[in-house]
Structure 1
Amino acid sequence: MTREEIFGLLKQHIVRVIPAVSPDRILPSVSLKDLGADSVDRADISTSLKDELGVDIPLVELGKAGDLGGLVDLLYRAQSG
């Protein structure tokens, strides 16, 4: 799966968990916190996305991503090998 495809999945999960967020606000340079996600929302988004991709990354590692682009990079590297 490409980074763009992973980012598309991430957007879907964000909108599912935080329906008030407009998809046009979801950019690689923003963080989940910037979009109004609390810690439970962030865990839900991260867990469901890593489950869908079939990768095993500790939530602590995913939490270290500074923005959505960094999160996509972590997930991309994990699923690539």
Structure 2
Amino acid sequence: MDRQEVLSVVLKHLRLNVNGLEGREIDPSKSMVEFGASSLDIVEVVSASMRELQIRVPRTELAPLRNMDELVDLFTKIKNKTQ
């Protein structure tokens, strides 16, 4: 699975969980908080994305991530290891 496919999954779940993002350009170099996501929204976006991608990521690997690009890179790396 390529990085763009993983990014599409994450952005889909971000739009589903954060109000006001429909039709808005989302820059993945920014954090979800910059788009109005609460901590609960972030947990749901990450959890739903992992379920859809059928991957598991330890919380310790998620904690240092600063933006969506880093999240997508980590998910892509883990997804490609499991295939």
**TM-score after normalising by structure 2:** 0.87
Provide the residue aligned with 2:17 in structure 1: 17
CA RMSD of aligned residues (A): 1.4
Give 5+ residue unaligned stretches, structure 2.
none
Cα deviation 1:27-66 (Å, max 9, x = unaligned)? 1211111111111000000000011111110244224211
The residue type equivalent to 1:17 in the other structure is: N
Aligned: 1:80 with 2:80: yes
Report the CA distance shift for 1:23/1:50 in structure 2 as closer, same or farther (over 3 A): farther
Give 5+ residue unaligned stretches, structure 1.
none
**Runs (4+) of structure 1 moved beyond 6 Å?**
none
Aligned: 1:62 with 2:54: no
**TM-score after normalising by structure 1:** 0.88
Shift of 1:26: 1.4
Residue identity over aligned pairs, in percent, reads: 26
Larger Cα-atom Rg: 2
May I ask how many residue pairs the two structures share in their alignment? 81
Report the CA distance shift for 1:24/1:57 in structure 2 as closer, same or farther (over 3 A): same
